[in-house]
Structure 1
Amino acid sequence: MQVLKFGGTSVASAENIRKSVAIAAAAAAQGPVVMVVSALGGTTDALISTGSAAAMADATYRHTLDQLEQRHLSAALELLHDGQQGVEKAVVEAQFAEVRRLCDGIFALGELSPRTLDKLMSYGELLSSRLIASAAQAQGLDAVWADARQLIRTDSRFGMAEVNTAATERQVAFFKAKTEQTIWVVPGFIAADANGTTTTLGRGGSDYTAALLAAALGADKLEIWTDVSGMMTADPRLVRSARAIARISYQEAMELSHFGAKVLYPPTIQPVMKRGIPLWIKNTFAPNDYGTLVEVTPPHTAAVVQGISSIGSLTLLNLEGSGMVGIPGFSMRLFAALARERINVVLITQSSSEHSICVGVNEADTAPAQVAVDEEFAGEIAAGRIEPLRPERGLAIVALVGDNMKDHPGISGKLFGALGQNGVNIRAIAQGASEKNISTVIRAADVRKAINVLHEAFFEATYKQVNLFILGPGNVGSKLLEQLAKQQAHLLENLGLQVRVVAIASSRHCVVNEQGLDLTAWPEELAGAPAQSLEEFTQLIIGRNLRNSIFVDVTANPAAARCYPRLLEKSVAVVACNKVAASSDYASYAQLKSLSKEFNASFLFETNVGAGLPVIGTLNDLTRSGDVVRRMQAVLSGTLNFVFNNYDGSRLFADVVRQAQAEGYTEPDPRLDLSGSDVARKILILAREAGQVMEMSDIEIDSFLPPACLEGDVEAFYTQLAAHEAHFRALYDDATAAGTRLKFVARYADGHAAVGLQQIPPGHDLYDLRGKDNVVLFYTDRYVEQPLVVKGAGAGAEVTASGVFADIVRAARL
């Protein structure tokens, strides 16, 4: 004997009913079949709404019933032969005449009792099952309709009746003995009490009907046919990479079902689990998919975690107070008070100090729970021995489930680490002694992120998804996007990083695609995108709440730097090409470093000093390994090095500077480079990274520019450069006469820093520095006589973009 249950989506239309009947027919070729069916999708909700409307004297229920009747009649016309259509039409019309009389009575009384509601809801399954039985017969199948009210006996607790198993087994055996047909079509969800009054089995009732019949018949298997291909490792609506679980134990299936997996409802599993009957979860719309086989003892698997599930709309109720410590009975009284209000406790946790008990309940039960508990402990609250109950709303449970988690070390650590690195705060934790389930309570707003993070950690060892929000697609930014486009496949294949650019924002537009922008078409998409302020862009990053998010600032905007603290506090990593934050006042710099550490969010700014050169990274490696930086000497401006390497008096100094700007080696305002302030910021950053508390005002700047060059706008600057050509020629001639070369040098030693133009003699490490190259000499406790040298191109959009790229990869891999 086989029992096949078909849910609401599987019988929602004539086309779907045909598919379900075909599946039952194929099964019948292997032996007798019991076909348990739900109401046509959406019918039960519609019937409940008609009853509620009628009870509130809202006559619109009549229109709803007309629509429902027409839907069933249309399905009958599509499914049945001409000779059957008249008979089925009469049955449908008779059924709806009963429903209308029932609703008219509710309308007249202005009351909808649980008993009447059970009666009203039962028509959904009664109508669908009769229609499907007729459809099976129309296809020549040996089918019979069986009234579940004659098979399943319950008590009279309407709304969620309790089954009388012994009486049910007798009724099923009696029906089987007198029935010869190969296929039984049975309405799910409904039953009857000892008086024959219609009852319902509550949530998951049709599954429960199928399980009860399978157990009573000693079925070879129970199949649950739905619209997904089995139980999934996570909710596919939240996790795009979720996959079906091929085989799973009953215990694991119950845990997953309890924590939100919608395929099964835990009580429905009990009858077949007790009998050891295998349960298959199959997809009506993809019948060849394997689905999920639920067994008492599935084959051993190497998977430690079988699935991740969640429950939303949760409230934590925290009962605490010093008067609870060492006093027996508090827990009993708490649970008794909730039980009297029929409030189900979803999660329990208690501190070892016995100072507090925390329980999770459905958010809808918050108010009655608070009243019940405060009344129960009114005396202790008045005496100050315990605090009034404190509900915390807006929460959810995310649970890891797996039989193999037992005695397997590191699972909890991996769970907490993955969530912590993405800024998901855990409000409460519960783990049973069986170790089949680890439950964490988090903000409901973090559920999508948390489940994706955990699915990535436990099921997707092949790659890590990284989500980039890029501000500033200018010269460097566009090169960065070009490099990302070229390297996406390489990053996935070689580093296991799936890097997606989710948003690109300029000063005028912002384009967003949560699934990742097309990096070959972003300029056109950005040009047509709406405007968005910096505040709105920051809120967009926080609001999207995506896992492994990185904000990439490729601007020089001080306002952008002011957004960093808010992002770091949300565990969004920050990669800054913008020098403002790291070179602003020391308190702000220290705050960013502290927030980065506190919230496990990278704050990286390698390009602030040497473009693509690993200057800060090298310095950090030295200090992390215990070395102490005593002195630094550096040429940190690719612009100035380019200018002085190319100026030989044969053409104007102003023309060489213009060339540097045209080739992209300067800031938009070249005075930032030539004044020495940009180099000063760089040595300030290095000094801070070496452990020195220092402000910009502490840097001595020896400018080689005449004061008039710094007045007015950029064009006035060039005019003044040309006017002071004799000054620059004299600097060059003096150096040439001394056999030296001009370099703009940054120096740090013993807590002091300075920048200025110097004449460098032959043989010095800075003498042969060519083109736009930068160089940094680190003198440390380990590198005393011969410095550690970092040297290479220090300017240009391409190399700067590569430095930002390197920081992105570094942040993604942490």
Structure 2
Amino acid sequence: MQVLKFGGSSVATAENMEKVIAILLAASGSGTTAVVLSAMGGVTDALISSGKLAAAGSEQYKQLLQTIETRHLDAVRSLIPVARQSALLSWVKQRCNEMESLCEGVFLLGELSPRTLDRLVSYGEWLSSFIVSGALQSREVPHVWADSRQLIRTDSSFGNAKVDMTATRELMNAYVKEYPAPLYILPGFVASDARQVTTTLGRGGSDYTAALVAASLQADVLEIWTDVSGMMTADPRWVSHARVIDRISYQEAMELSHFGAKVVYPPTIQPVMDSGIPVWIKNTFAPKDPGTLIEHEVNEDRKGPVRGISSINDMALLSLEGSGMVGVPGVASRLFQALAAQSINVILITQGSSEFSICVGVAGADAENAREAVNAAFSYEIGKGAIQPVRLETHLAVVALVGDNMKSHPGISGRMFGALGRNGVNVRAIAQGASEKNISSVVASEDVKKAVNVLHEAFFETAYKQLNLYIVGLGNVGSKLMEQLKQQQYYLLKHVRLQLRVIGIANSRQMALNEQGIDLGNWQQALQEGAPMDLDAFVEEARRHNLRNSVFVDNTASERVALVYDRLLTRSIAVVACNKIACSSKYPVYQRLKFLARDYNTNFFFETNVGAGLPVIGPLSDMVRSGDRVDRIDAVLSGTLNFVFNNYDATRPFAEVVRQAQEEGYTEPDPRLDLGGTDVMRKILILARECGAEMDMEDITNNSFMPESCMKGSVEDFYKELARHEAHFAGLYQKAKDNGRILKFVASFSEGKAQVGLQEVSPEHGFYHLYGKDNVVQFYTKRYPQQPLMVKGAGAGADVTASGVFADIIRAARV
């Protein structure tokens, strides 16, 4: 024998009912079949609302009942030939009249009792099952419609009645013996007490009905047909790459069901688990999908340590603390008795070994009642100061890892909390049972979607890691970065298992945000169609999205953008910056950003601050962390100035060479930052700080070669002054040439002091053969005292700078 149960979505419309009938006909050759049907989707809620409206004195209940009646009559007309509709239409109309009479009585009394509500909501399953039965009858399919109220015996706890298993088993077996048939159609959810008064089995009761039928008749299998293709590794509405679990144990299914996976309801599992009956979760709308098999044991070779991730939203934590609890027996018992007296269910329990505190999780709706009940229960101790009044925290959620096999895999908890911590998800409380089938953590409600995605990536998505980018600055460097991201997107996914998604882009005028990702082949149009740039709004959207593995990329030279880094880091959003302003600001600002990155377990990378695409800061950090000591740094750190002095030979104006450097993208937007030495000062300052020096810009000596008048006014005024002082620049060049030397703008750091300035370099100097826009950095350290560690290469240009930013983005994904 097999038992098939179809949920509300499966019978929501006549079209869906046709799919159900097709599945029944396909299963008809497999022995006796019992079919349990839910109410049409949404009908139970509508009936509850009708009753409540009537009790509140609102005649709007009539409109709801009319909608319910129309849905069922339309289903009959669609499913059954016109010549055979009359009797069933009449029957449905009579049931609808009964519902209206019930609600009218509730309206007149102004009261909706649990018993009356059970009677009212029972019509949903009664109607849907009778309509399917009528459709089968019109197709001359042999079957029996059985009233579940005559087969399932319960107590009189209306709304969530307790089943008398012995009586139910006897009634079902007697019925099948008296009315043998190849197919039985039954309404789910409904039952009756010893006085034949209608009761219901609680929400999810149709699943429970099917399990009771399967267990009572010792079925070979129970199939639960719904609108998904099985139990999923996570909620597919939150996790786009959630996948179907092919096999799962009863215990795992119960854990996942309890923690929010509503494909099956927790009571469903118990009767079939006791009888050892396998359960298949199948999809009515994709009947060929294999689904999920729930059984006693699952082959260990087919299981990872974690089977699924689930959550319970809208919960609260109650914490009872005080020295008066230490060593005092019965405190926990009194706490739970106080909650039980108010019919408050405890979702989660955790207690410190010191016995100084105990913490319980309850549904958010029960939070205030729970606090009042516990405070009342401990009023004497609270009055004496031995115990503190209950501390209540709301807007929380539980996220749970579930798996039978976790107990044999060390490090699961570490991976779980490490993944959450790296993404800035604060864990408020932890609970783990001795069986290790479930590890639960309490997080803020705003973090629950992020937490589930983070954990799913950590335990299931071995195929790739997702990185979500917010990019500000789309000029020379930013546009090149977008090209490189597009070019490498497929390669990174295939070979590095890294999925890059650009969620937000912005320049000084426009911004565009798309939580599903911006098309990198069409980002210019997306930006054009976006909103006017509002930096604060852009940052707040990044914080609100709260996506895992988020990275903010700053390709600007804006002080205002640099000032938002702290707001991002405190949300555990990594920052990648080619903007030098933050790291060359006052030392406390630099120090605070580094601290925030550590404190919020995220990344602050700025490799391109010094050498564009050259690996300078990374190797320096590695040396310092590994115990090396930097004694001296000598460097040419301006690709711009190197380009200028490599191309200036006094045969054409100095101003013309500088303008060429700007047009080719080698200078800052304001070239005076380069020529005046400010940019190089910032770079040597950053290197000095990375060596451990506490320095600021005013501590650096700048031996400037620029006439003072060139540094005033606008950029165009700057070029005019350069032209006016051509003799000065020609003189510098000629003097070096006469000495057999060339000009290089050199930065150095030694013995806690730093300086920058133009120097004449002889042919034997390591900087003499430095061409084009190249940079070079020489590190003299304890390990490299004579022959320095040298990093040399292109130190300017949009392409190489963008590649350095890209490299930092990849580092952010790997760390």
Q: Same fold (TM over 0.5)?
A: yes
Q: How many Å apart are 1:368 and its aligned residue?
A: 0.9
1:255 lines up with 2:281 in the alignment: no
Give the alignment of 1:102-501 within 5 angstroms.
Answer: 102-300=102-300, 301-501=302-502
Q: How many Å apart are 1:21 and its aligned residue?
A: 1.3
Aligned-residue identity in percent: 61
Aligned partner of 1:3: which letter? V
Q: How many Å apart are 1:462 and its aligned residue?
A: 2.0
Q: 1:700 aligns to what?
A: 701
Q: How many Å apart are 1:113 and its aligned residue?
A: 0.4
1:798 lines up with 2:799 in the alignment: yes
Give the alignment of 1:616-635 within 5 angstroms.
Answer: 616-635=617-636
1:26 lines up with 2:12 in the alignment: no
Aligned partner of 1:290: which letter? P
Distance 1:734 1:441 in 2: 72
Distance 1:632 1:687 in 2: 9
1:754 match: secondary structure: strand
Q: How many Å apart are 1:597 and its aligned residue?
A: 1.0
Bigger shift: 523-532 or 215-224? 523-532
Q: How many Å apart are 1:180 and its aligned residue?
A: 2.5
Distance 2:64 2:267 in 1: 32
1:196 match: secondary structure: coil
Q: 1:7 aligns to what?
A: 7
Distance 2:748 2:68 in 1: 84
Q: 1:731 aligns to what?
A: 732
Per the alignment, do residues 144 and 83 of structure 1 end up closer, same or farther by CA in structure 2, a change over 3 Å counting?
farther
Aligned partner of 1:122: which letter? S
> C-alpha offsets along residues 485-507 of structure 1, whole Å, 9 cap, x if unaligned?
00011111221111111110111
> C-alpha offsets along residues 168-216 of structure 1, whole Å, 9 cap, x if unaligned?
1111111101113211110000000011100000021000110011111
Aligned partner of 1:529: which letter? G
Q: How many Å apart are 1:295 and its aligned residue?
A: 0.4
Q: 1:48 aligns to what?
A: 48
Q: 2:812 aligns to what?
A: 811
2:441 match: secondary structure: strand
Structure 2 length-normalised TM: 0.99
Q: How many Å apart are 1:712 and its aligned residue?
A: 1.1
> C-alpha offsets along residues 283-333 of structure 1, whole Å, 9 cap, x if unaligned?
000000000010012222241111000000110010110000000000000
> C-alpha offsets along residues 586-632 of structure 1, whole Å, 9 cap, x if unaligned?
00000011111111111000111110111111211211111100001
Aligned partner of 1:512: which letter? L
Distance 2:334 2:533 in 1: 55
2:362 match: secondary structure: strand
Distance 2:139 2:453 in 1: 45
Q: How many Å apart are 1:24 and its aligned residue?
A: 1.5
> C-alpha offsets along residues 362-410 of structure 1, whole Å, 9 cap, x if unaligned?
0000111111111100000000000111110011011011111013211
1:269 match: secondary structure: helix
Q: 1:748 aligns to what?
A: 749
1:753 match: secondary structure: strand
Q: How many Å apart are 1:140 and its aligned residue?
A: 2.3
1:665 match: secondary structure: coil
Aligned partner of 1:436: which letter? K
Aligned partner of 1:672: which letter? L
Any gaps of 5 or more consecutive residues in structure 1?
none
Q: 1:505 aligns to what?
A: 506
Aligned partner of 1:563: which letter? V
Distance 1:767 1:513 in 2: 50
1:67 lines up with 2:67 in the alignment: yes
Distance 1:56 1:90 in 2: 30
Distance 2:45 2:540 in 1: 38
Q: How many Å apart are 1:753 and its aligned residue?
A: 0.3
Distance 1:711 1:458 in 2: 59
Distance 2:703 2:108 in 1: 95
Aligned partner of 2:69: which letter? E
Distance 1:165 1:783 in 2: 82
Instruction: Give the conservation status (yes or no) of the 8 Å contact 2:518–2:526.
Output: no
2:583 match: secondary structure: helix
Distance 1:54 1:97 in 2: 15
Aligned partner of 1:48: which letter? I
Q: 2:645 aligns to what?
A: 644
Distance 1:446 1:435 in 2: 24
Q: How many Å apart are 1:82 and its aligned residue?
A: 2.5
Any gaps of 5 or more consecutive residues in structure 2?
none
Distance 2:750 2:197 in 1: 93
> C-alpha offsets along residues 7-57 of structure 1, whole Å, 9 cap, x if unaligned?
000000001111111111221211111110000111001111110010011
Instruction: Give the conservation status (yes or no) of the 8 Å contact 2:473–2:556.
Output: yes
Distance 1:591 1:111 in 2: 62
Matched pairs, number: 814
Distance 2:205 2:712 in 1: 82
Q: 2:775 aligns to what?
A: 774
Give the alignment of 1:600-619 within 5 angstroms.
Answer: 600-619=601-620
1:153 match: secondary structure: coil
Q: How many Å apart are 1:84 and its aligned residue?
A: 2.3
Distance 1:618 1:739 in 2: 34
Distance 1:802 1:122 in 2: 66
Distance 1:717 1:233 in 2: 63
> C-alpha offsets along residues 498-532 of structure 1, whole Å, 9 cap, x if unaligned?
11111101111111122221111111110121113
2:85 match: secondary structure: helix
Q: How many Å apart are 1:765 and its aligned residue?
A: 0.5
Q: Alignment RMSD, CA only?
A: 0.8
Distance 2:474 2:650 in 1: 37
Distance 2:335 2:738 in 1: 92
Distance 1:200 1:647 in 2: 91
Q: 2:529 aligns to what?
A: 528
Superposition misfits of 4+ residues, deviation over 4 angstroms: none
Distance 2:661 2:200 in 1: 82
Distance 1:520 1:189 in 2: 53
Q: How many Å apart are 1:141 and its aligned residue?
A: 1.1
Instruction: Give the conservation status (yes or no) of the 8 Å contact 2:642–2:744.
Output: yes
Instruction: Give the conservation status (yes or no) of the 8 Å contact 2:317–2:392.
Output: yes
Give the alignment of 1:56-95 within 5 angstroms.
Answer: 56-95=56-95
Distance 2:444 2:101 in 1: 47
1:154 match: secondary structure: coil
Q: 2:519 aligns to what?
A: 518
> C-alpha offsets along residues 334-367 of structure 1, whole Å, 9 cap, x if unaligned?
0000000000000000000000000000000011
Distance 1:14 1:650 in 2: 88
Distance 1:569 1:617 in 2: 23
Bigger shift: 427-436 or 137-146? 137-146
Q: 1:586 aligns to what?
A: 587
Distance 1:811 1:96 in 2: 62
Distance 1:723 1:357 in 2: 79
Q: 1:685 aligns to what?
A: 686
Aligned partner of 1:274: which letter? D
Distance 2:38 2:463 in 1: 40
Q: How many Å apart are 1:767 and its aligned residue?
A: 0.6
Bigger shift: 138-147 or 337-346? 138-147
Aligned partner of 1:438: which letter? I
